[in-house]
Amino acid sequence: MAVPDKATGAEYVPIKSWQASIELGFRAGKNRTDLVRSLHKGPLRVQSPFYPEDDCCHVYLLHPPGGMVPGDALRVGLNLDVGANALLTTPSAGKVYRSDAAKTVQSQGISAQIASAACLEWLPQETIVFEGAEAELNNNFALQGDAALCAWDIVVLGRRASGEGFKNGHCTQKIEISRDGKLLLKERTEWLGGSRMLDAPWGMGGMSVSGTLFATLQCDQQMMDTLREGLAELVAGRGWLPAEWGLSQKREIFLARYLGNSPEHCRKGFMWLWSQLRPKLNGRAACPPRIWNT
């Protein structure tokens, strides 16, 4: 119901924001990894875990509202005990809607604790940042011992299919990975609506989609060459839109980058890379979540 603004007298519809969170705990059992803890507040849920490969626990993280309004904060906390194996994904893209006149922040983040001999695969769909949004995206992973990680974060600025760019708004993406308290990777990317960086060749180059895949792997030159060649063949064979792809090794972190205009092509390229990296990461053949086929 519309109510009058105390300062101006104009009517507006107040928006209810959510401070939502979910905490999931995974424990290695005799024959499989079990989801032993699930505490949630607000509109974040999980379905029953799936076991398409018997032992690794597949979980779909659900956010029924589908997007974030001004003031929303979504927090995902994961804890993997020794030897646990979990793969988490989302059924649809996340959305950060336009903020308000006060530029109220909308934030989402994941914080994961991964014990020794455990492996986390965090593979969500993209986050679409609407024009005028004030988004903060945080990714924090703390590993212990020989824990393994493969994850990605895909950011879409504006909605080009709807004729919307990113002339206004702000988005900050943070990625931090540590092992036994030692920092392995720390990145911060900031997109300011309408800024020169969005069109400059040293920035986004006029593109709207930025993707980063990171894995705790050390790939030798032969494997890097094989991945580059295979990815180039995939892109050429499917006739994808022009884009920039980059693979690099930063100490013990393998990194893949995408800069283009298609979140779908970015996801599919990252899925292919994940399928190639997974046997080296945790000794498993690729087993794509069924929801990726819908």
pLDDT at 14: 44
Query: What integer is the mean pLDDT of 280-292?
Result: 94
pLDDT digits (tens, 9 = 90+) for 43-79: 899 989 999 998 999 999 999 888 999 999 999 999 9
Q: Confidence band (pLDDT; 50, 70, 90) for 18?
A: confident
- Per the structure block, which two tokens stand in for 178? 């540590």
The C-alpha atoms of residue 6 and residue 11 are separated, in whole angstroms, by 9
Q: 3-state SS of the chain: helix, strand, coil percent to 5?
A: 15, 45, 40
Burial 135-154 (b: 16+ CB within 10 A, else e): bbbbbbbbbbeebbbbbbbb
Q: Which two tokens stand for residue 205?
A: 């180059």
Digit-coded pLDDT (tens) for 22-42: 999 999 998 999 999 999 999
How far apart are alpha carbons 44 and 63 in whole angstroms? Answer: 5
Counting Cα atoms < 13 Å in the Cβ hemisphere of 217 gives 27
Q: Label residue 10 by pLDDT band (50, 70, 90).
A: very low
Per-residue pLDDT, 12: 35
**Taking the domains of the chain in order of start, what are their residue ranges?**
18-293
Largest CA-CA distance found in the chain, in angstroms, rounded: 68
Tokens representing residue 250 in the block:
């930063």
Side-chain half-sphere CA neighbours of 14 within 13 A: 7
> What pLDDT, in 10s, does the model give residues 238-268?
989 899 999 999 989 999 999 999 999 999 9
Contact 187, 167 (CB under 8 A): no
CA dist 58 and 272 (Å) reads: 18
Give the closest residue to 68 by CA, choosing from 32, 16, 27, 138. Answer: 16
6: CB partners within 8 A, 6+ apart: none
Query: Token pair 């336009």 is at which residue?
Result: 98
For 96-102, what is the mean pLDDT?
94
What tokens appear for 1 in the block? 């119901």
Helix intervals (H) in 204-258? 221-238
pLDDT in tens, 109-157: 999 999 999 999 999 999 999 999 999 999 999 999 999 999 999 999 9
281 and 148 in contact (C-beta within 8 Å)?
yes
Is a pLDDT exceeding 90 seen at residue 91? yes
Instruction: Tell me the C-alpha distance between 91 and 289, whole Å.
Output: 10
Whether residue 8 is predicted with pLDDT greater than 90 in this model: the reply is no
Distance CA 85, CA 103 (A): 40
Burial class (CB in 10 A: 0-12, 13-18, 19+), 160: middle
Mapping DSSP to helix (H, G, I), strand (E, B) and coil, where does residue 176 land? Answer: strand
List helix spans (H) across the chain. Answer: 221-238, 263-282
